[in-house]
Amino acid sequence: MTCIIKQIFRLFLMLILFSVTPFTNCCYAENMNDSMVLKSGISLVDQVPHELIGTWHVSAKLEQANSSVFKNSSLDIWNLSRDKNVIKLENPFSGAKADVNIDYVSGNNIKFTKIGNYDTKRLTDVVELRLNGDKFYGTNKLKLESLSNVDGSVIKTETAIYNLRGEKISGMSVLEK
């Protein structure tokens, strides 16, 4: 009787060992379908239309503000460049430079954020653009926070919304890929 139990036990172990092989094959990439692909690994920078990269003449008109600290209008130059997975924005007029965080891309609609820290101030720009050839239109929502010298907490917050218009003055043509 014990001999039969040993044989059944061995047979059971062999079945377990040989049945593992088909289950391990399901983990190879060749057996995966699109629904199994991890979407979080896709860089939004890769989805930004190449037409955005270049030098832009940008005009901004104040639409709304809760403080008189903001100008009614401004003219700027934006140099937008890409270095691997980072988009950089430089303004040669002000000397400001910042890495841009891409929040959203859908076709020619782009939303990005940039944060600048200046002594006891923190300026957050949330820019939403719609590219149309060598032009763009959109908004810039600004938040200017005054920070405490003691603990860095926010003492005061001022906000504004600007309407933006941009015209490309140099850089990649919309016909180039």
* Rounded CA separation 43/177 (Å): 19
Domain with CATH 2.40.128 in the chain: 55-171
pLDDT at 96: 84
Over the chain, what is the mean pLDDT? Answer: 81
Secondary structure (3-state) at 149 = coil
Share of the chain above pLDDT 90, in %: 57
Tell the CATH topology of 55-171.
Lipocalin (2.40.128)
Q: Is the pTM of this model over 0.75?
A: no
Cα distances (angstroms) measured from residue 153 to each of 20, 125, 147, 156, 160: 57, 19, 5, 9, 21
Condensed to tens digits (0 to 9), the pLDDT of residues 1-13 reads 565 666 665 655 4
pLDDT at 42: 55
